[in-house]
Amino acid sequence: MKTAREIRQEITELTDKQKVILDAVEQSEERKFTDEQRQQLKDLDGKIERLKKDLQDAEIRERAQERVAAMSGGNPADNSKRSGEDIDNMSQFKWSRFLHHLHMNRNLEGVELEVHQEAVKEARERNSSLKGFGLPSDFFRILSSEDRQKEDRMREQRDLVVGTATAGGNLVATQQMPMIPALRPTPQIVAAGAQVLNNLVGDVDIPKQTGIAQAAWAGETASAAETDPTFGVVQMSPKRAAAFVDLGIQLIAQSSEDVQRLIMRDLEFAFALLLDQAGINGSGAGNVPEGILNATDINTVEIGTNGGALTWAKVVEFLTSVEQSNAPINMPTWLTTPGVKGHAATTEKSANTAKYLSEDGRNLYGMPMLTSTQVPSNLTKGTSVNVCHAAILGDFSQMILGNWGVIDISVGNHRAKEGIREFVINALADVGIRNEESFAVCTDITPN
């Protein structure tokens, strides 16, 4: 007797055969079915409908088995309470098929349906619901184990259409060499040591001790002064982050599966950049997380009234200010702009010594230096307008990036005249800093 999973896989394979026929008709000159193609589609339809009935019976049987097993303390014959990694052969998931069903407003089938059902279940467990179609929280991690080693650079989010070569047309039909990734900033917060909390549920309060008990000398019989430690919390709550992409209808039908996965991973990388930017310079206003540069208890280093060049004394002041705060700084790392990095590698500690602030361009004051164009380089200080760069030194393990699980995909506007369909992808995330005093920042460096 076939399991529901096996039947779904059969439906998926038959649907693939139908798609091959439909693509062949679409690419023919007359765009009409031959008698043979018409009969093949009819036969496949009949098989799929019969399998759907078998699937309903299998699902009823397996739900009953699960209830019986739960009452008896055993395990059901088919483990419907699987994790994302247990979903049957995730590599069978097809982005082109998934997007085509969404575009055509058709019910999902096969592996794509199973993935969505896993997301619905996960959302329900988190007292949430999906507005569109879902992908479970660990879905991208499953795909990344197969593909992401080859694609370690971020790629650009853009509108994709067949008719425009640079916006998707170059991805269609013809054999392609490996894609050259678009140039974009590299997320560095996690690389610097930020901790990531996955699959959060509801608001998260992280306890924090804000004051310590004080000891004092007292006479042999005198009463000792009573002091108590004080406590607070770092609060994190799910904040909506949204990304979108406009896909040409022809592109959905014609592009390879690799390209379709690449498009969707671009959206995930867009979230990574969004979190990275929020961690660095988030305003903290409205639904935007508060980043390091706008934290209230951060240590600050100032160059001058109108900004100025970085000096060795100011480099030392970064670490000194953190240590004077008694803040933990176990893994100090610099994060700054490429301009400041070049400035540090060409600026002498003292004149005519040939000893530079950064001797190798990778470390500063003996601590690793990372760069990102997400660190602002257009700040203003006095008469230095839109030319000041920022630099951060801190223990980035004190930063927490949280995400609340399921990815929610909705179908947006259909611009029929242009042949464009919009897809909207939503996720919930937030940024928190356990000890803001573990960071020192400077926002008025003028490297030029």
Write out pLDDT tens, residues 233-274.
788 888 888 877 777 776 666 556 666 666 666 666 777 888
Q: Which pLDDT belongs to residue 184?
A: 63
- More confident position, 150 or 27: 27
Report in angstroms the alpha-carbon separations of 74 from 69, 70, 78, 83, 374: 5, 6, 12, 18, 53
Mean of all residue pLDDT scores within the chain: 78
Residues whose CB falls within 8 Å of the CB of residue 360, separated by 6 or more in sequence, listed in order: 345
d(CA 121, CA 352) in angstroms, rounded, equals 67
The pLDDT of residue 152: 43
Does pLDDT of 144 surpass 60? no
Q: Which residue has the higher pLDDT, 216 or 294?
A: 294
Domain spans in the chain, listed from the N-terminal domain onward = 1-81
Sign of CA dihedral 42, 45, 50, 51: positive
Residue type, 361: G
Return the number of other C-beta atoms located less than 10 Å from residue 92's C-beta.
18
pTM: 0.65
**Contact present, 235 and 203 (Cβ < 8 Å):** yes
For residue 347, give the nearest of 337, 357, 338 by alpha carbon. 357
Tens of pLDDT, residues 3-43: 777 787 788 778 878 878 887 887 777 888 888 888 888 89
Question: Cα torsion at 115, 118, 119, 124 (round to 10°)?
Answer: 160
pLDDT: is 151 or 218 the higher one?
218
Q: Which residue has the tokens 């998926």?
A: 12
Greater confidence, 138 or 203?
Answer: 203
Summarised one tens digit per residue, pLDDT across range 311-355 is 999 999 999 999 999 988 888 999 999 999 999 999 999 999 999
Q: Is 377 left (phi over 0), alpha (psi -120 to 50) or beta?
A: alpha
- Positive or negative: CA dihedral 387, 314, 373, 279: negative
